[in-house]
């Protein structure tokens, strides 16, 4: 178990971004289908049209970050992406209602992890050439099992993933 912990520590230290991709490369209107995989091991899924609108604002350190599910008349989330420290890849997704979600940019992937009413969510946006891969993974905050190393007595909590949402968003403008 010590080896695993050492590898995890080294991996986290080595993988701190040394450069952040230019977030302005993300500007545009992105469209695609969001597929929701409801249960692991089954083919239960649903889908909905999704758009991501990223545009400049009057501030050099703030971008409009709008998400539309279905159509703009029903569900248009007009967020802001705030650049906190570009050199360290630190950002905030401002939901404009008091909620600020910390996000980190690792080269071409913006990642945010947060908890809402007992559900842990990890949301990622990966700029990959001509598309953005948007993914949300959810699990319950309470571990489903806890095991312990017989050698080092280190406890490890496991969490059941309750669903995955994924969209391939292609630049429209």
More confident residue, 73 or 35: 35
d(CA 150, CA 155): 10
More confident residue, 80 or 43: 80
Band of residue 16 on the pLDDT scale cut at 50, 70, 90: very low
d(CA 122, CA 163): 11
User: 116 φ, ψ to 5°?
Assistant: -135, 120
**pLDDT tens for each residue of 120-137:** 999 999 999 889 999 999
Determine the average pLDDT of the residues in 36-40: 79
More confident residue, 165 or 19: 165
What one-character DSSP code corresponds to residue 12?
Answer: H
Percentage of the residues of the chain whose pLDDT score is greater than 90: 73
Give me the pLDDT at residue 5, please: 44
Give me the pLDDT at residue 21, please: 65
Determine which of 5-14, 51-60, 142-151 has the lowest per-residue pLDDT on average: 5-14
**pLDDT tens for each residue of 82-117:** 999 999 999 999 999 999 999 999 999 999 999 999
Give me the pLDDT at residue 17, please: 39
Write down how long the chain is: 173
User: 88 φ, ψ to 5°?
Assistant: -105, 5
User: 4 φ, ψ to 5°?
Assistant: -65, -45
Give me the pLDDT at residue 143, please: 93
- Contacts for 1-9 with beta carbons within 8 Å, 24 or more apart? 1/149, 1/151, 1/152, 1/154, 2/151, 2/152, 5/152, 5/154
d(CA 110, CA 151): 37
22, pLDDT greater than 90: no
pTM score of the predicted model? 0.82
């Amino acid at each position: 178990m010590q080896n695993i912990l050492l590898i995890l520590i080294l991996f986290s230290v080595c993988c701190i971004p040394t450069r952040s991709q230019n977030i302005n490369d993300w500007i545009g209107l992105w469209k695609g289908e969001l597929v929701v995989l409801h249960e692991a091991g089954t083919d239960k899924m649903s889908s909905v049209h999704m758009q991501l609108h990223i545009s400049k604002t009057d501030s050099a350190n703030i971008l409009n970050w709008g998400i539309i599910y279905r159509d703009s008349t029903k569900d248009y989330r007009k967020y802001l992406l705030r650049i906190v420290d570009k050199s360290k890849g630190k950002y905030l997704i401002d939901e404009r209602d008091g909620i600020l979600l910390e996000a980190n940019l690792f080269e071409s992937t913006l990642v945010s992890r947060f908890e809402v009413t007992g559900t842990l969510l990890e949301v990622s946006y990966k700029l990959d050439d001509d598309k953005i891969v948007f993914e949300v993974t959810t699990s319950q905050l309470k571990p489903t099992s806890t095991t312990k190393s017989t050698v080092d007595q280190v406890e490890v909590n496991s969490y059941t993933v309750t669903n995955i949402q994924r969209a391939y968003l292609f630049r429209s403008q």
